[in-house]
Structure 1
Amino acid sequence: MFADKMILRIPGPTPIPPRVQTAMNQPMIGHRSGKFSALFARTAERLKPYFGTKQDVYILAGSGTSALEMGVVNTLQPGDEAAVLVSGAFGERFAKICERYGIIAHRVEVPWGKAVTPELIETFLQKKPQIKAVFATYCETSTGVENPIADLAKAIRTHSDALFIVDAVSNLGAVPCEMDAWGVDIVVTGSQKAFMLPTGLAFLAASERAWQVIEQNKSLAFYLDLKAYRKSLAEQTTPYTPAVSLIFGLAEVLDIMEEEGLPAIVKRHELMRDMTRAAMRALNIKLMAEDQYASTTVTSCDPEGTFHAEALRKMLTQQFNITIAGGQQHLKGKIFRIGHMGYCEPLDVLQVISAIELSLHQIGAPVELGAGVKAAQEVLIAHV
């Protein structure tokens, strides 16, 4: 085993393509130069198809959470009421951000491992017509659930004038997103997931409906004031110092994604999801999410006491230098999560499944060697 050959199979950060690493090593240029302005404006424009929007996409130097906070602080005021759809740890994060700004956050919760249904939000909104915004998580990485954003948007539009704000940090760029067609008002994401970059960039797009609210809203933010980003993007720049090297990398990422094409990217991720789920079933490991709502980018697995999830993770790291994710909050130590997004392809999935089988054998867990790999191969063969 080569010590420097780290294999990341977590829900982010994800592996970085060598082409992108090379692009980020370009000599530094002035962030207020004409050369950078041209690069920045073109790169922001190229992000639009992944959001499914004709609106501008804003790029800020910060983690995905900074964009979540931007979506909150620019649309709501202290004392406003919001509905937060909570199906795991990251839905809860939206609620905490709201509460930090004095916004009344009504949690609409489902058990971890379940998806939020349109019927649930319809019932809630009928009882709470004063709600000004609904927040949801597209892919809840803590549970491996993909919430039905298009259906939720339709339900919200039917029963409310509230803005619909979506955290798509852990799957945008790997799944369909039709922000304009679905009627979603704000979509946010980050750089270190399906966009195959290091952590450090966040992206946000807002609808015309959202902008009508934002323009009238007195933002409590300084760095996260969205109006400042809109003004600067019109001038092909940013209000504050951009992460120049990451923008170099983002331009290269978009080259790679455009070469493959979004429909093919989506199919590749769906295939890797199906291979992973077939393998876990063949190994008699419980899947947390139902097929209908299974995440395209991360699979959450529950050993249900047949072996210790942390023992598996430790063995994978020690023997194969492979990192998979553990559980969060009350699921810490109980489940494991396999990331399959970004710079990842079906052969990588076969690799991690094979290593999981060997690791299960080494920790004394019941396993039929080759069963998971065979099941995943059969899915791959049927796809080819």
Structure 2
Amino acid sequence: MLADQQFLRIPGPSPIPPSVQLAMGKPMIGHRDQEAKSLIKQLKPRLNPIFGTKEDVLILTGSGTAALEMAVVNSVEPGDEVLVLVSGSFGDRFTKICQAYGIHVHRLDTKWGEAINPKDVKTYIQAHPNLKGVFATYCETSTGVLNPVKELAAVVRNHSDALIIVDGVSCVGAVPVEMDNWGIDILVTGSQKAFMLPAGLAFIAASERAWNRIEENNTPRFYLDLKRYRDNIKNDTTPFTPALSLLFGLEQVLRLLETEGLENVFARHRLMMQMTRSAFKAHHIELLTPDEAASPTVTAVKPTDFKAEAFRKILNEEFKVSIAGGQHQLKGEIFRIGHMGYCSPADVLQTISLIEIALIRIGKTVELGKGIEAAQKTYLA
């Protein structure tokens, strides 16, 4: 293989479009100069349709986890009762962030590979009337599950006074989200997934109801103080030094998304998911998640007659294709294929072709081209 060739098919960071790479190479500017203010001014309204909100989408220089912590520290206080909906590793991360701030955490766990059931949430919150917040993960990256956040938000809103706070890091920009219409109070995402950028930017928006709670929150915070970001964004700036090169890239990312059209972006991701899943079904290789809970951005596969890690190793060594392994209790049990952001059906067909060869290399009997054929038929359907 070519020494510098790499096919990145993990669920983040995702590949970066060449035009975005070029945009990030622009000469640096002063972050307090008018040119930077003009850049932020024109970026602001273009983020609203992706979040489905009329509220300001705030830009944070930091990872997605920084924004998750920002959501926690601004919305609830030490001693408050919250419910964390856990369907995988990143729901568990929300739990750990809350516990780090002395928040009283209730967990509602579901089997990894299954989506959170809104009926279970309704039952739980009715039994715990003092909840101040409910934390949910839209796409659980560790399992390839897309949780029904629209229905979850409706349950929380209809049966409690708790805020509904959503981690959308691995799917916002690739799936529909209507923050205002669905009643989501705080929504978070990051730059290195469907936004097709390197890690280093995070985005967060809050509802009017959430802002009322944030204003009353006395938890000490400095860099992660949402009020600072809100006050600064109104003046087309940020409270602390922004990652300007990433903002240059973000401008081009938004141009690409607008050119394709968000509905077409969402349809492309659904199609790539369906193509990937149909290929593994054709080879009778078990998928971790059922169709109704499957994420358009990442597919988790649970082999029963070959080793996931051995398969990943062959795929990387022979073809420089990187796919992700399992996390925590699924470590060594599954592998995960990312199909988000700068990824197309052509990329999926190439990946499936190489996967079929790697399966034969590790000794699994498969019919070459059967998965490709299934994916092609899905594409043509």
TM-score of the superposition, structure 1-length normalised?
0.98
Aligned to 2:357: 358
1:219–1:225 Cα contact (<8 Å) kept: no
Aligned partners of 1:244, 1:108: CA distance in 2, in Å?
39
1:285 CA drift (Å): 0.9
Shift of 1:253: 0.3
Spell out structure 1 runs of 4+ moving beyond 3 A: none
For 1:144, the equivalent position in structure 2 comes to 144
| Residue number in structure 2 paired with 1:340 | 339
Q: Which amino acid aligns with 1:251?
A: E
1:324 correspondence with 2:323 = yes
1:39 maps to a residue whose letter is L
CA–CA distance in structure 1, aligned partners of residues 295 and 220 of structure 2:
34
Distance 2:234 2:241 in 1: 16
Match of 2:85 in 1: 85
- 1:130-279 superposed matches below 5 A: 130-279=130-279
Counterpart contact for 1:83–1:107, Cα < 8 Å: yes
SS at 1:266's partner residue? helix
Partners of 2:78 and 2:219 within 8 A in 1: no
Which residue in 2 is equivalent to 1:22?
A: 22
Give the aligned length.
381
Alignment deviations for residues 61-94 of structure 1 (CA, whole Å, 9 cap, x no partner): 0000000000000011100010000000000000
Q: CA deviation at 1:248?
A: 0.2
Q: C-alpha deviations, 1:331-376, integer Å up to 9, x for none? A: 1111100000000000100011110100010111121111111100
For 1:99, the equivalent position in structure 2 comes to: 99
Deviation string 1:121-164 (CA, Å, 9 cap, x unpaired) is: 00001100000000000000111100001011111111101000
- AA in 2 matched with 1:207: S
Shift of the alpha carbon at 1:101? Answer: 0.3
Q: How does 1:34-113 map to 2 (within 5 A)?
A: 34-113=34-113
> How far apart are residue 221 of structure 1 and its match?
1.5
* 1:293 match: 293
Provide, for residues 241-276 of structure 1, a one-character-per-residue CA deviation record: whole Å limited to 9, x for no partner.
000000000000000000000000000000000000
Q: For 2:248 and 2:139, locate their aligned partners in 1 and report how far apart those are by CA, in whole Å.
A: 27
DSSP 3-state at the match of 2:37:
helix
Quote the Cα distance in structure 1 between the aligned partners of 2:260 and 2:5: 26
In 2, Cα distance between equivalents of 1:288 and 1:130: 35
Provide the C-alpha distance between the structure 1 equivalents of 2:218 and 2:231, rounded to a whole number of angstroms: 16
Alpha-carbon displacement from aligned partner over 1:40-66 (angstroms, at most 9, x marks no partner):
122122111010000000001000000
Q: Give unmatched runs, 5+ long, in structure 1.
A: none
Structure 2 equivalent of residue 121 of structure 1: 121
| 1:84–1:94 contact (8 Å) kept in structure 2 | yes
After superposition, what is the alpha-carbon deviation per residue over 1:166-221, rounded to whole angstroms, capped at 9, x for unaligned?
00000000000000000000000000000000000000000000000001111321
What amino acid is the match of 2:252? E
Corresponding residue for 2:32?
32
Name the amino acid aligned to 1:356.
Answer: I
TM-score by length of 2: 0.99
CA distance in 1, matches of 2:184, 2:15: 30
In structure 2, C-alpha distance between the alignment counterparts of 1:3 and 1:158, rounded to whole Å:
56
Structure 2 Cα separation of the partners of residues 273 and 206 of structure 1? 30
- Report the residue type matching 1:302 in the other structure: K
SS across alignment from 2:380:
helix
Deviates more, 1:20-29 or 1:284-293: 284-293
Distance in 2 (alpha carbons) for counterparts of 1:380 and 1:36: 42
Cα-Cα RMSD: 0.6
Contact 1:87 1:112 in 2 (8 A): yes
SS across alignment from 1:32: coil
State whether residues 297 and 338 of structure 2, in contact with CA within 8 Å, keep that contact through their aligned partners in structure 1: yes
Structure 1: distance between partners of 2:247 and 2:170:
19
Aligned residue in 1 for 2:379: 380
User: SS state of the match for residue 108, structure 2?
Assistant: strand
In the alignment, structure 2 segments of 5+ residues that lack a partner are none
Indicate if the aligned counterparts of 1:3 and 1:321 stay in contact, CA closer than 8 A: no
Q: Structure 2 CA distance, aligned partners of 1:91 and 1:172? A: 16
Q: d(CA) in 2 for partners of 1:368 and 1:130?
A: 57
